[in-house]
Amino acid sequence: MPGITDLALLISSMRPNLVEGTFVYCSVPATTLADYLHLKPIGLFQEKEGLTLIVPLEAARQAGLPTEPAMRMITLDVHSSLEAVGLTAAFATALGSNGISANVVAAYYHDHIFVPAADAERAVAVLRALSAAQDLP
């Protein structure tokens, strides 16, 4: 089943879900991925400077990796198409207007937004308000 591309439908049905746990972004040498798989990264990205891992905070702490800034993950429970236009801009604008930074990971089925842990509940409220406003005539 293909993902949704209609922006109004995406926003009105995005259902932000605050995922359990706290996460951190870490950079490790690209040649050592196998050494870090035991940390159970939920995301990784190869950059020219190294390999970025998104790992549970406690796993990073135990491995002696940086544990700041602590982030929470909000998953938008709508199957958004990778070709959808405007969803990231809409939620990033809403969060930014409320002083909340957003680090976005687009996966095949969903968008995942990493926000500072202290702002997580407020971010979910902002996203729910954005979604509810889209439902208005």
- For residues 116-133, average pLDDT: 96
- Please tell me the total number of residues recorded for the chain in this structure: 137
Q: In this structure, how many other beta carbons lie within 10 angstroms of the beta carbon of residue 118?
A: 12
Q: How many helices (H) and strands (E) does the chain have?
A: 5, 7
pLDDT surpasses 90 at 33 = no
Rounded CA separation 67/47 (Å):
20
- For residues 17-40, average pLDDT: 91
Name the pTM for this structure: 0.92
Q: pLDDT tens digits, residue range 127-136?
A: 999 999 876 5
Question: What stretch of H or E contains 53?
Answer: strand 50-56
